[in-house]
Structure 1
């Protein structure tokens, strides 16, 4: 881990102060004190997590070198990668297939004879069919009936 316990204590104290002064305006001093202590504990714990992550990021080689390495069973397997090899996964080797023919097909112009000449046809949706003309008196009765409810 990076640093020492003083970092955790200082960050916890800062968390206590922020939490205490943020809640003292709207709460009793005992409630604010309790919330400040909870803020201290939370920031203290987060400082441990932060130190741990920074320790791993600062020296990733020491984290992998602590693993015990097992010897291979035979000498002719030296080309294969063992499961405990510290360099395993450090390189990513990918070969893409050759696509020169597809690329040249895309770049060469095609003759206009082979292109299908479909003309544009707009979409003609079916029209809605309306019912027979309603009697205006019947419609007025329906509106009166709906407005009375």
Structure 2
């Protein structure tokens, strides 16, 4: 079952408090105390039913088929290591220090080496020393006039 008998006592006390709260102005004290005892007993027994229903609802689903002894440890641990790449990393860092050298681990095969050319974009120039006519011409070209 779900929980302990303390839950039943808590439900019983809640029933007692509710009974006293609703009957304090309408009944004499002796009737109110007798009905609150009956309410405690009723709520105490009712809590067992609520606990049984909750235990049934919250029960984990049973697995289809039984586990064999071989399957007991499977899926509990994932033991995998990555290969040691410190040498390749050191070579890559050394090649970057040497201006533009291709690292040995990244070298392309010989048939692709002739076709491959690294991107070499032109360097941007500043427009500090240009003539005003050239600037006006460029602005008119960009604005579409």
User: Which protein has the larger Cα radius of gyration, Structure 1 or Structure 2?
Assistant: 2
Fold-level match, TM-score > 0.5?
A: no
TM-score bracket relative to the smaller structure: 0.3 to 0.5
TM-score norm. by structure 2 comes to 0.40
